[in-house]
Amino acid sequence: MPVRFVAYIDESGDTGLEAVKPRTVKGASEWLVLSCFLVREQDDHKCLGWVREVKSRFKNDQSPALHFSELLPVKKRIACEIVATKPCRYFIVASNKKNMEGYRNEAAEIVSGKLGTAWLYWWLTRLLLERVTDYCETRVRPEARGNCTLRITFSRRGGLLYRDFEYYLRKLRWQSILGTMELTQGDLCWSVIDSEEILVLDHAKRAGLQLADIGAGAFYQALEQNRPANCDPQFAKLLEPRIARDRTNRVLGYGIKSMPELHKMGLATEQREIFEFFGYNPKGW
């Protein structure tokens, strides 16, 4: 099937659950943030030019690839300001792991054939793709659905077996067909999914992955405390024009999906700012 949309997926934070910040000072990150940078296939070739445009604004930059976490604040602002003008959409899934400290999902670990928390990454990827595929499908005429697809490209991450995701995807598809979904509140829009269009590449090999990294890094910086600096939402706010919205023009729950529910997280005041900026009622905390 012809590719109509291209999704690049990257993350900030880690999947560690044995000990999690802030209760354990030297524990795993409090947050795991997944970012999808979505473009139409006809614009995919422009991504390299957009990255070059960003880097052209940096003085004496010789780095082979764009890494948001390594940029000075002024360069982070430039990167976000430029990408906010481009024909693209960001989808963010932000998982606060405090309530999962010490948790194990043994059934999911068995699927991977080894112990670990890779299942958390794939579960959040599912939440991300539920929203991405919905966005794509609604932009395809009903009579054309099933005749065009979404290409999904992951930034390679150590410790992940990407065949596990392919297995997980097949499992979800059969559960969807048979009506046996374990989570009944969401599903992927399967008309745009093609298992042959799932790629895994190094960060430096695709400009789109570097642009996905901007979204992941900006929202991670808005949420993670003591990185060593504290939360700074200014860069995530700059991406507001490119954050996807649902049919009712809402961002939260769609372009930005949080886990668990926001009022259950016990967030610090500075962590709340970015969610309130995108529409959360301050009284809801």
Whether the predicted pLDDT of 64 surpasses 90:
no
C-alpha–C-alpha distance, residues 159 and 108, integer Å: 15
Question: Residue 107: what pLDDT?
Answer: 56
The domain that contains 175 carries what CATH number? 3.30.420.10
With residue 23 as reference, give the H or E element that holds it: none
Q: Which runs of consecutive H residues, i.e. helices, occur in 62-206?
A: 73-83, 106-112, 118-137, 162-178
C-alpha–C-alpha distance, residues 102 and 86, integer Å: 41
Q: Highest mean pLDDT range out of 14-18, 83-87, 182-186, 196-200?
A: 83-87
Whether the predicted pLDDT of 271 surpasses 70:
yes
Whether the predicted pLDDT of 108 surpasses 70:
no
Range of the domain at 158: 3-284
Whether the predicted pLDDT of 62 surpasses 80:
no
Question: Residue 115: what pLDDT?
Answer: 44
- 91: tokens are 């989808």
| Mean pLDDT, residues 193-213 taken together | 95
Q: Number of folded domains in the chain?
A: 1
Question: Residue 109: what pLDDT?
Answer: 55
C-alpha–C-alpha distance, residues 79 and 275, integer Å: 21
